[in-house]
Amino acid sequence: MYFRVGGQDFWVTLDTGSSDLWILSNNCSSSETDGVAKYSPSSTSSLFLDVPFELDYLLGSVTGCVAFDTVSLGPYQLSSQIFGLANHTNNLGISGNHNSGILGLAFSSAASIVNNTAFSPLANIFNYLPDSLRFFALKLGREEGHLVDPTSSFSVGQLDTAFAKDFSNFTFYPVSSAGADEYNYWKLPLVSLTINSTDIPLSPSLVPGSRHPVAVLDTGTTLILGPIVDVETFWNTVNSNDNIARKNTVTDLWEVRCEKAIIASFVFGEGVYRKEFVLHPEDVNWAVNGTDGSWCMGGIQGNSGVNSGDWLLGDVFLRNVYASYHGKNTTHDPVIGLASTTDVSTALQEFRQGRGPDMSPSMSIQIRGRVQHSDPFRAAIVYSISSVCGFLGGMVLTVLFRLQHQKTTRKYS
C-alpha cells in the first residue's frame, strides 16, 4: 500500500497478522534494504524517543527506535503518530518487493510499539470514524508481478463496489478472543475443513477456552498453515488412490500432481450460519515444485508451531473471499464479514485451461485416520517459505478511502 510519513511517500505491506507500523530508516545499513526507499527525519515534525523496539518473526527480525511523525493514509492525516523506525533488518527479503515497511492491521493489544496513550494508525482512524464506518475491507487479487494489482483492494469505511455494493452477500462471524484477555488478532472459530463438501475431522483446539480450532486471517502468510496431524489427514484423504499427493522427504512439504484439481473448503458458523468458503483449485495446488513440473506445492501445509491460533489462513484462503474487518463499537464487539468470490464451475474451467487434462487417477473420498508425529515442530520450514512469499512480498493493493469533505487531523501523544 502507498502512504506518507513525514511528507515522504512509501510502499508498505499490509499485514492483518500483526499490529505495528514500522518504516526503514535512512540509517539502516542492512544489505537487503539496498534500493528501497527509506525515511529521513523531518526537521519540523519528527520526534525520536530513546526507546528501542524489536520485532522477531519466525523468519527474520527488525530493530530500531520509536518515533512520532505525521502519517497520511488517503484523506486521513494522523499527527504525532507513533511508529517504529527500523535501523536494522535481518533475513526479511525486503529488496525483493521494494516495500519500505509493514502496516499492521491487527488489534493494538498485540502491538509491541504502541501503548495506552499512543495507538496504532488503524486504531486512531477508527477512533475518529462513526460506529458504522469502523471497518476496513480487503480483497487479494491474483495478478502477480505488477506494481499495482487492479484485482486487489483495500478500503477504510466503505466497500469497494467492484466487489460488493453492500453487505447483503456477507456472512458475519464474531471475532474470537480465546486465549487472550482481550482481542488481539482477527480470529474465527473454524468448524470444518472439507473436500468435495465431505468434512475432514479436525483436532481439538490448543487455544484455551475455544470449543473449535481457532483460525487467524493473516495477509502476512502466503499459504494455509495448520496442525501437522490435520494437514496429514487432509492430504491422505486426497491421496486415497495413491500417487496424487506425497510428502517431499527433502523439503518436508506436501506436494500434489499439478494437473489434479482439488475442491477444498473452510467452514465457519453453525446451524443457519454455517457456510463453506471454497478455495480455487489453483490455490490448493499451488506452485510448481520440482524439475519435471509434474508435482506442485500444496497450498495447505502443516505447522504446529503457530502460537496465535491453531490455523493461519493466508493468501491461499484470502484470495477466495472479500473480507470486511469491523472493530468494536458501541453496538457490537469485533466481527469479520466474509463474502465468497470463487465460483466452483468457473474455477475448474480456469484450472483446466492452465494445467491441461487430468491424467492422474480419479479421487474418491475416504477419511483416513490421523498420523501422529513425535516432533510437532518438524514442519517449521513451511512458515519460513510462506513468510518470504507472503509476509514481506505483500501484494500492492488498489486503495480506497471514504472521502471526507476536509482532511482529518488529530494529534495523539
CATH number at 262 reads: 2.40.70.10
Does 86 have pLDDT greater than 90?
A: yes
> In this predicted model, what pLDDT tens digit does every residue of 207-260 receive, in sequence order?
998 999 999 999 988 899 999 999 999 999 998 767 899 999 999 999 999 999
Question: Taking 70 as the threshold, does the pLDDT of residue 276 lie above it?
Answer: yes
In this structure, the answer to whether residues 33 and 179 fall within a common structural domain is no
Residue 382 pLDDT exceeds 80: no
Closest by CA to 122, choosing from 1, 284, 246, 303, is 1
Question: For this structure, is 15 an active site residue?
Answer: yes
Same domain? For 20 and 110 the reply is yes
Give the pLDDT confidence of 139-196 residue by residue, as tens digits.
999 876 555 677 899 999 999 999 999 999 999 999 999 999 999 999 999 999 999 9
User: Are 103 and 229 part of one and the same domain?
Assistant: no
Same domain, 244 and 218: yes
Cα dihedral 336, 339, 341, 343 in deg (nearest 10): 130
Residue 44 is predicted with a pLDDT of: 56
Total domains in the chain come to 2
Is 162 part of a structural domain of the chain? Answer: no
14 within some domain = yes
> Position of cell 528501497?
36
Burial class (CB in 10 A: 0-12, 13-18, 19+), 62: buried
Q: What percentage of the chain carries pLDDT values higher than 70?
A: 82
Of the candidates 59, 146, 163, 135, which has an alpha carbon nearest to the alpha carbon of residue 98? 146
| pLDDT for the residue 399 | 56
pLDDT at 412: 39
Q: Is 277 found in the same domain as 358?
A: yes
Mean pLDDT throughout 98-123?
Answer: 87
pTM (2 decimals)? 0.87
- 143 or 79: which leads in pLDDT: 79
| Among the listed residues 135, 122, 62, 74, the one whose alpha carbon sits nearest the alpha carbon of residue 392 | 62
Could you tell me if residue 388 is inside a domain?
Answer: no
Q: Are 107 and 153 in contact (CB under 8 A)?
A: no
Q: Residue 217 class from Cβ within 10 Å (0-12 exposed, 13-18 middle, 19+ buried)?
A: buried
Specify whether 115 is located in the same domain as 194: no
Q: Which residue has the cell 502507498?
A: 2
Shared domain for 371 and 334, answered yes or no, is: yes
Q: Which of 20, 149, 218, 230 does the annotation list as catalytic?
A: 218
85, part of any domain: yes
In the chain, the N- to C-terminal Cα span, in Å, equals 25
Distance CA 168, CA 164 (A): 9
- The reply to whether 186 and 126 lie within a common domain is no
Q: Is 218 a catalytic residue?
A: yes
- Better pLDDT: 411 or 249: 249
- Can you give the pLDDT at residue 176? 96
Least confident of 86-100, 163-177, 380-394: 380-394
Cβ proximity of 127 and 119 under 8 Å: yes
Is the predicted pLDDT of residue 392 greater than 50, yes or no? no
Report pLDDT for 260: 93
Please report whether residue 102 resides in a domain: yes
Is the domain of 356 the same as that of 404? no
Is residue 349, in this structure, part of any structural domain at all?
A: yes
Q: What is the pLDDT of residue 385?
A: 34
Assign 3-class secondary structure to 335-380. Answer: EEEEEECCCHHHHHHHHHHHHCCCCCCCCCCCCCCCCCCCCCCCCH
| Residue 5 pLDDT | 92
Q: Which of 25-29, 33-37, 271-275, 370-374 has the lowest mean pLDDT?
A: 370-374
Domain range for 262 is: 170-378
Q: Is residue 161 part of a domain?
A: no
Would you place residue 45 in the very low, low, confident or very high pLDDT band (cuts 50, 70, 90)? low
Domain annotation covers residue 154: no
What is the structure's pLDDT at 257?
A: 93
Q: Are residues 123 and 182 in the same domain?
A: no
User: For 292-313, what is each residue's pLDDT tens digit?
Assistant: 668 999 999 998 777 789 999 9
- pLDDT tens-place string over residues 118-137: 889 999 999 999 999 999 99
pLDDT at 115: 67
Q: Are residues 264 and 219 in the same domain?
A: yes
Whether residue 194 sits in one domain with residue 108: no
